[in-house]
Amino acid sequence: MPQNATSLKAPAVKAAVALKRGEGKSKAQIAREMKIDRETVTRILSEPEISEAIEASRSRCVAMLPKAERAVERQLEKGDGDLGLRLLEKSGVLAGPQPPRNSMTVDVHLYQALATFIGPIDSPTANQQSADKEAKPIIIESETGTK
């Protein structure tokens, strides 16, 4: 590809490519979605006016970060629990659904083995589960967190 190659695509196509790139999509994703060659996407993104527009947009976004951070802090201070939860999930602090507090996962096979050695164990949930042919872990609620 020559150094100064430019695309002959219509300005609307070039704008759409730039917009998708601004959304964080890869060149391959853009090419697939728009049904154009990946090299065409590369040429469009390499054009000075397109790359300058993308860089200007990124600069504006970076400049807005302190404002966005203050807005999030204000919402959290107002007690916006949904926002707090989303923030923790997206930051990776919380990974997926958490088991209920004061509960533990119980292995039915372990319960059966213990019952063999020490006698029946008082857990209606475990007794119901042991009757099943397919033993799966179960959750037993506990007031103290230990059982």
Residue spans per domain, the chain: 103-141
d(CA 127, CA 111): 9
d(CA 62, CA 60): 5
pLDDT of 26 strictly over 60: yes
Given the structure tokens 């997926």, which residue do they identify? 96
The pLDDT value recorded for residue 96 is 59
The pLDDT value recorded for residue 87 is 84
The whole-chain average pLDDT of the chain stands at: 75
Confidence of residue 22 (pLDDT cuts 50, 70, 90): confident
The pLDDT value recorded for residue 46 is 92
Distances (CA, A) of 40 to 19, 29, 55, 103, 125: 15, 13, 19, 56, 62
